Amino acid sequence: MRTPLIAGNWKMNGSLAANAALMAGVLGDAAAVKAELAVCVPAPYLAQAQSVLSGSRVRWGAQDVSAHENGAFTGEVSAAMLLEFGCSCVIVGHSERRSYHAENDQQVAQKARRALLSGLTPIVCVGETLHEREQGATDAVVTRQLTPVLDAIGSQLASIVIAYEPVWAIGTGKTATPEMAQQVHARIRAMLIERDAVQAQQVRLLYGGSMKPDNAKDLLAMPDIDGGLIGGASLNASDFLVIAHAV
């Protein structure tokens, strides 16, 4: 039995004041939510998240992590640093990192491995562009993105979370239909089963891409959709909570 996870990706949004209001709103009803809840906040706000969310049932994490342990990597943030601020998870391979920062599949795999080695749960994002979908290449793209990750993490399969985020659905208001999303999630599950049939059943597969209060219930009803990675709607406490209650 997989506990559903609803994780917010705040992206590069927020301020001390706005975050305080948002987190207070989420905490207001978090106890009634059956799903596990997490928010992935910009790195400068990790201390604030730690101070506000400690002791609550909302976990927090970051949006990226270095593949390196430490050293001369200006601008990067290590897994050990994230741990010092109480993070339990970190997004790796978000499509915005892949496209704006040219992160490739191997780098994403190394980041996932580094996160796991440090005790953080990597939320590994995969997903195709509109062009790739139109070419019928969705399965091939997801397989290409996920294979190095699965190779890099070896026997620790059950400790990762995978988010299927079709690039054409992120921040666009276009959502994959529940059936489209389930089809890809089933393909991902099959890939995991090939590696380890038992652990494959424990891995949570999140859907991300314009998940909103009005479409969450149908998406989350699919057998292999175990939660959501929520961008825009996670910036509004009541929308985030409606999605969480849809589990």
**Neighbouring residues of 94: CB distance < 8 A, sequence distance ≥ 6:** 9, 63, 64, 125, 165
* Paired tokens of 7: 């994780």
How far is it, in rounded angstroms, from Cα 229 to Cα 37?
Answer: 10
| Residues at the interface with ligand PEP (CB under 6 A) | 9, 165, 170-171, 208-211, 229-233
For strands 121-126 and 89-92, give the pairing: parallel
Of 6 and 58, nearer to ligand PEP (C-beta) is 6
Task: Return the number of the residue (148 or 208) whose C-beta is nearest ligand PEP.
Answer: 208
131 close to 91: Cβ distance less than 8 angstroms: no
In the complex, residue closest to ligand PEP by CB: 231
- Min CB(172)–ligand PEP separation in Å: 7
3-state SS record for 208-246: ECCCCCCCHHHHHCCCCCCEEEECHHHHCHHHHHHHHHC
Q: Nearest approach, Cβ of 11 to ligand PEP (angstroms)?
A: 6
Residues 16, 52 contacting (CB under 8 angstroms): no
Q: Which is nearer to ligand PEP, 97 or 189 (CB)?
A: 97
Give the bridge partners for 164, in sequence order: 126, 207
Which of 94, 103, 128, 185 is flagged as catalytic? 94
Active-site option among 96, 103, 128, 165: 165
Spatial separation of the C-alpha atoms in residues 218 and 193, rounded to whole Å: 25
Q: How far is the CB of 232 from ligand PEP (least distance, A)?
A: 3
**Known catalytic membership, residue 165:** yes
Our CB check for ligand PEP shows the closer of 41 and 211 to be: 211
Q: Which of 64, 155, 63 has its CA nearest to residue 110?
A: 64
CB of 80 to ligand PEP, least distance (A): 25
Active-site residue flag, 94: yes
- What is the closest distance, in whole angstroms, from the C-beta atom of residue 1 to ligand PEP in the complex? 25
Nearer to ligand PEP, 201 or 238 (CB): 238
Give me the active site residues, please: 94, 165
